[in-house]
Structure 1
């Protein structure tokens, strides 16, 4: 995440975002398939939907959003989404 701290950065949780899921086999991403849209809404809605998924399957999801440097990238990994969820709760 670079040198920026969460407290120094503002994130617009109302920004448009889309939660995607990767098809899986044996709980592993299928690289021969493309991901599909689960929910389209705000970054806040997508984070909430992601956090509602079982922890054991979260690695199959990603959020695509308009970048908000330095904390929000175009494609958010499960680990990144969890960090943003903690930030959101902190704020």
Structure 2
């Protein structure tokens, strides 16, 4: 994994989006809205600052960086990238 870890560009452009919610559940019938526009690193940090119980309402959108980074990062994926970033 270490070889791939160096391929992640944490300075890549990214945006943090929040899904509209009802009773702390995503409203799939609505469109998510942007709350942060910056770098992947900044979006990961802002995501990690959110209360844990609401993180499932967020996603990060960025350019794909195979094999570790997809266009849309789920909360679980963001947590893994956060751990990788701290490791590096």
TM exceeding 0.5: yes
Give the TM-score, by structure 2 length. 0.96
- Alignment size in residue pairs: 86
The alignment status of 1:56 with 2:49, answered yes or no, reads no
**Match of 1:87, SS?**
helix
CA distance in 2, matches of 1:83, 1:74: 15
CA RMSD of aligned residues (A): 0.5
Unaligned stretches of 5+ residues in structure 1 = none
Give the TM-score, by structure 1 length. 0.93
- Please list every run of at least 4 consecutive aligned residues from structure 1 whose deviation after the TM superposition is greater than 2 angstroms: none
Unaligned stretches of 5+ residues in structure 2 = none
